[in-house]
Amino acid sequence: MAVETTGRFVGDLRDPAPAERLLWPDVAKGACIVLVVLWHVIMKQYLQIDWRISTPLPGAWGAAGELLLPLRMPLFFAISGFFAARAVNRPWRTVARSRVAKFFYLYVLWLSVHTLVLSFFPGFATEHAGSVLEFVSQLTITPTNLWYLFALAGYFVLAKLSRRLPFWIMLAAAFALSATASAGLVAVPGDRGGLYQNLLFFLAGSYGTSLVKRIATEASWLRFALIGVPYLGVLAAVDHFGLKTVFGLWPVLSLVAIVLGVTAAALVTRWERPANAIASVGRRTLPIYVIHLPLVAVLDAVLHDPLSSLGPAAQLAVAVLDPIVLVAAIVALCLLLHRILPSAWVFDLPARRSAEPPRAPAPDDRNASAQTMPLYSVRRPQAFPGPR
């Protein structure tokens, strides 16, 4: 991979035509958002049930969710950085509106919605503002479960300001920040820890576009197994011996997980139907991300007591199926609401009024726009042949 010491984002930043949009990033994003919903269902609904069964199924679901922590958001940010590489070099005026203002606007809007909805569910197992002061804190310094949007707004500012610096300085600083936060050496109230830990992966995806493409192009089941099997062993050892806070271990584990995630996404694209199904979710992750948590709160309020009062046999069936059924239902509901709600201001920054006709989108707007979870109007994706 060619390296530019001027600090510009490295890699081949030319965008493919819309018909040639890479399929594996959408597959990766689709899988990631499903795993995010699964994690919230497990932690905030499933494990809150009063289980009276002798099998360890609830604990197994919780352990599976924990094992996926190094993958979910790190891979999401790496893909976002991969798409952001060219956009960051555009003029400040463009970046400030289409990236920074947009993501912060969405954060403010949906933080307000979450605060209002969750106020009706005070027992729900997630943080939400109970006063104006708490709301202001969540708006500025201590982001909530919507922190992904908050983070991207800040990451774009930082990436834009530092684009002339040597890339290795930024990666080293981001690694140190991630390692410090994951080791518990700084205070991380709310979801501030995610904010500190994931800058590294956003920058890695931005600076390493050529490397990420190469990983996807050269994906093989053998490489996946050779990396994945020992990786699972390391994760098990880390959990067993309580090594999660060892300085530098979390970012290293997450970087390896990103390699595995990109490899797996590329391999999945060899099966056209499942790949297209997952990618269709990956192109609509924004509505799922911002809507799903209130839905989890509603379902928890409705289902907690009835499921807790079931007999052992019925609870055993629930213990197996509850996360799967609820994740599928929540994703479907989010996508339905996305079709109903006014996208122009609910899922995007409202357009400025202008007498001028709208300009044609720039090449990097059509495919590699740095939107976290955008909708794209593209032709039917093809089975993965590797980047063209």
How confident is the model at residue 6, as a pLDDT? Answer: 37
Q: Which of 111, 83, 113 is nearest to 98 (CA)?
A: 83
CA distance 182 to 177: 9
AA identity, residue 112:
S
Burial of 134 (0-12, 13-18, 19+ CB in 10 A): middle
pLDDT per position as a tens digit, 335-361:
999 999 998 899 999 987 654 555 554
pLDDT per position as a tens digit, 88-139:
888 998 899 999 999 999 999 999 999 999 999 998 988 888 899 999 999 9
The mean pLDDT of 286-294, rounded to a whole number, is 97
Kind and range of the H or E element at 139?
helix 132-140
How confident is the model at residue 163, as a pLDDT? Answer: 87
How confident is the model at residue 373, as a pLDDT? Answer: 39
Query: Which residue did the predictor score with more confidence, 220 or 93?
Result: 220
pLDDT per position as a tens digit, 46-65:
999 999 998 999 999 999 99
Alpha helices in 283-385 (DSSP H): 285-308, 312-340, 343-346, 363-366
Asked if the model's pLDDT at residue 252 lies above 50, the reply is yes
How confident is the model at residue 357, as a pLDDT? Answer: 54
| Distance, first Cα to last Cα, the chain | 17
Tokens 């904010």: give the residue.
Answer: 195
Q: How many CB atoms lie within 10 A of CB 387?
A: 17
Asked if the model's pLDDT at residue 10 lies above 50, the reply is no
The mean pLDDT of 187-201, rounded to a whole number, is 93
Asked if the model's pLDDT at residue 362 lies above 90, the reply is no
Q: How many CB atoms lie within 10 A of CB 254?
A: 26
Lowest mean pLDDT among 76-80, 186-190, 207-211: 186-190
Mean pLDDT value across the chain: 87
CA atoms within 13 A on the CB side of 112: 6
Biggest CA–CA distance in the chain, Å, is: 68
How confident is the model at residue 370, as a pLDDT? Answer: 37
Domain boundaries, the chain: 34-68+271-348, 78-267
Instruction: pLDDT band for 262, please (50, 70, 90 cuts).
Output: very high
Q: Are 331 and 34 in contact (CB under 8 A)?
A: yes
How confident is the model at residue 12, as a pLDDT? Answer: 34
Instruction: pLDDT band for 86, please (50, 70, 90 cuts).
Output: confident
pLDDT per position as a tens digit, 65-79:
999 999 999 999 999
Asked if the model's pLDDT at residue 272 lies above 50, the reply is yes
Per-position DSSP letters for 325-352, written without gaps between them? HHHHHHHHHHHHHHHHS-HHHHSSPPPP
The mean pLDDT of 211-238, rounded to a whole number, is 96
AA identity, residue 63:
A
The pLDDT > 90 percentage for the chain reads 76
Lowest mean pLDDT among 125-139, 268-282, 372-386: 372-386
CA distance 137 to 260: 36
CA distance 374 to 149: 12
- How far is C-alpha 93 from the chain's CA centre? 26
